[in-house]
Amino acid sequence: MDELLARSVAEEYASWFRALADPSRVQIVEYLARQGRPMTVGEIVAAVGLAQSTVSQHLKILAEVRFVLAEQVGTARHYRINDACIRCFPSAADVVMGRPAPAPTGSC
């Protein structure tokens, strides 16, 4: 008998999919990943063309699931992609098709 994906893993994956359920958040993740360096909210705002408050809210959601990491630098916060978490993020096709998907790790 085939086993179900563990509930805790399914819940973790669901939180990741919810975090990426907005096109702007997908753009922000992709942009940070492509830039490969910590960036200020202002830099991200300039790239995505949204209001600062909107970008900040998106970054908060992405940080909650650890797709992005924030660090305080003086009076500014710098955001960077969490490479460890992105590596263990399964594709929706893998999960739906029953292919082995990486389990979340403590760094995700």
Residue 108 pLDDT class (50, 70, 90 cuts): low
pTM for the structure as a whole: 0.82
Calculate mean pLDDT across residues 47-55: 97
Q: Which domains does the chain have, with CATH numbers?
A: 7-96 (1.10.10.10)
User: What local confidence, expressed as pLDDT, does residue 71 receive?
Assistant: 95
Strands 68-73, 76-81: pairing kind: antiparallel
In contact, 88 and 65? CB cutoff 8 Å? no
Rounded to the nearest 5°, which phi and psi values hold at 76? Answer: -105, 155
Q: How far is CA 62 from CA 18, 77, 85, in A?
A: 10, 14, 11
Kindly state the DSSP code that residue 3 receives in the 8-state scheme.
P
Q: How far apart are CA 5 and CA 101, in angstroms?
A: 10
Angle at the Cα of 77 from the Cα atoms of 73 and 81, rounded to 5 degrees = 110
